[in-house]
Chain A
Amino acid sequence: MTWSTRWFIRVQIRFQKHKIKTMNKKSLYLYCITEASKKKGKPRVRREQTFRIHGLDRGKVFAFLNHSLAAVVQECDASFLSEDPRWVKNSVLTHQAVVDHAWKKFGNVVPFSFSTLVLPKEAQSATKNLEQNCETASNVGRPKRSVAGSHCLKNLREWMNKEEDSLKKLLEKLKGKAEYGIQISWNPNLIASQITRNDREFKELEKEIQEKGTGTQYLLQHKKKNLLRQKLEAVAEDIFREFYDKISHGVKEIRVETIRKEKPPRQMLMNLSCLLPKDDVPKLDKVLEEIAKGKGFFVRFTGPWPPYSFAKL
């Protein structure tokens, strides 16, 4: 293949990509829901507005209102999704940056999961003017520009109207709170050595192993391994309960998440998502500091995050 053929193909691909990008702008990508208000002086969305942040593929992010709620959205291609990991990772970070921006600005958001789209009902031209569809069209000072297909906005408004009460309740619950991640890990080898030194049952078994012949010793070694595993599991369960009680005491809501794999010998004991007022964080700090002082225990404390884990209707 000559260089000119390669160049021609490359240009064709670029042209096709551009064509798809400009022709399919019919969907709405959803970032989060927040409160809308006509009253001044409150950090709420008062009119349809553009945000000072770029969305996915550097698209414009704007607020779309129903009566008391605002959805932070952007127009995008219906076929925008790519499985290219580089695209996904950039998009995930962009999603979070937009949600963070809205959270910081309005103080309270219900974040959407990554890649939540409103699709058009039927194919039609890429963009329609918001004035035809948006209740806020007559608002003075609203930036004049066209947005996603009318069906998307209509669908979104229908959904917002339908879920208005539940979303308002959820926003009320989340007000003034943030999500924090807590992961506690341990080094089971340290606990295992304590068990082998101090546990009566274990000591008796070790004594028995020394007294028996080689064949029996092999079986008893196997039994010893199982006993140690059982003892460790029991200790882990007790520790989980103890830490859970201590942590849950100072938080509004708590969710137990799946534990993650850690680099051996470290093992994760618990992975929690906690919802609490930001003012209550110092109390939780103290509890976690106390836990982290324990020999062989490691604590990770992340946040504040928008309340992803508690965004359930």
Chain B
Amino acid sequence: MKPTRKGQAGLVDLLDRVLDKGLILNADLIISLAGVPLIAVSLHAAIASVETMSRYGLMQELIEPSNAGE
């Protein structure tokens, strides 16, 4: 059984991680915006749409070689 990031299971797992986890800071001028996780509930359902799935599959297209500097 190989781990996968594809499909709805991968997407739900991704959302759980990006929205609910990760480094959260507690400094005066560094904030983690409250309220966003509340949207996550409906987002879990909404994000599984075909449109989003295809977009997810095409994430690499965000990488544009024209932005030199690396």
Interface residues of A (CB under 8 A from B): 30, 32-33, 49-54, 60, 81, 83, 85-86, 88-90, 92-97, 100-101, 110-121, 143, 151-152, 155-156, 159, 179-181, 183, 257, 260, 273, 281, 285, 288-289, 292, 299-306, 308-309, 311-313
A51 to B46, CA, bound (A): 30
Contact partners of B31 in chain A: CB under 8 A: 116-117, 119
Query: Contact at B63–A53, with CB atoms within 8 Å?
Result: yes
- Among B10, B23, B43, contact of A311 (Cβ-Cβ < 8 Å): B23
Query: Contact at B1–A92, with CB atoms within 8 Å?
Result: no
Contact partners of A183 in chain B: CB under 8 A: 9
Task: Say if the beta carbon of B50 comes within 8 Å of chain A.
Answer: no
- Among B20, B32, B62, contact of A53 (Cβ-Cβ < 8 Å): B62
Most buried by A among B4, B15, B29, B42: B29
Contact partners of B30 in chain A: CB under 8 A: 30, 116-119, 155-156, 159
Query: Contact at A302–B39, with CB atoms within 8 Å?
Result: no
Give the Cβ gap from B65 to chain A, nearest Cβ, in Å. 6
Interface of A is mostly: mixed
- Among B39, B55, B56, B62, contact of A88 (Cβ-Cβ < 8 Å): B39
Contact partners of A159 in chain B: CB under 8 A: 25, 27, 30
Question: Which residue on chain A has the smallest CB distance to residue B31?
Answer: A117
Query: Contact at B43–A92, with CB atoms within 8 Å?
Result: yes
Known: A88-B43, A180-B3, A181-B13. A116 touches B21 (CB 8 A): no
The 0/1 profile, CB within 8 Å of A marked 1, for residues 42-70 of chain B is 11001100001001100100111101111
Contact partners of B4 in chain A: CB under 8 A: 301-303
Query: Contact at A116–B23, with CB atoms within 8 Å?
Result: yes
Give the Cβ gap from B38 to chain A, nearest Cβ, in Å. 9
Contact partners of A83 in chain B: CB under 8 A: 35, 39
The 0/1 profile, CB within 8 Å of A marked 1, for residues 7-40 of chain B is 0011011111111111111010111110110010
Give the Cβ gap from A96 to chain B, nearest Cβ, in Å. 5
Known: A88-B43, A96-B14, A273-B17. 15 other contacts (CB 8 A): A52-B68, A53-B64, A53-B67, A54-B67, A83-B35, A88-B39, A113-B22, A114-B19, A115-B33, A118-B29, A292-B1, A302-B4, A308-B17, A309-B17, A311-B23
A306 to B21, CA, bound (A): 11
Most buried by A among B10, B18, B65, B67: B18
Query: Contact at A311–B63, with CB atoms within 8 Å?
Result: no
Interface residues of B (CB under 8 A from A): 1-5, 9-10, 12-25, 27, 29-33, 35-36, 39, 42-43, 46-47, 52, 55-56, 59, 62-65, 67-70
Query: Contact at B5–A89, with CB atoms within 8 Å?
Result: no
Query: Contact at A81–B69, with CB atoms within 8 Å?
Result: no
Give the Cβ gap from A4 to chain B, nearest Cβ, in Å. 34
- Among B3, B10, B47, B59, contact of A89 (Cβ-Cβ < 8 Å): B47
- Among A113, A288, A303, contact of B23 (Cβ-Cβ < 8 Å): A113
A101 to B35, CA, bound (A): 27
Query: Contact at B13–A111, with CB atoms within 8 Å?
Result: no
A86 to B55, CA, bound (A): 12
Contact partners of B56 in chain A: CB under 8 A: 93
Contact partners of B43 in chain A: CB under 8 A: 85, 88-89, 92
- Among B9, B14, B29, contact of A305 (Cβ-Cβ < 8 Å): B14
Contact partners of B35 in chain A: CB under 8 A: 83
Give the Cβ gap from B46 to chain A, nearest Cβ, in Å. 5
- Among A49, A93, A300, A308, contact of B22 (Cβ-Cβ < 8 Å): A308
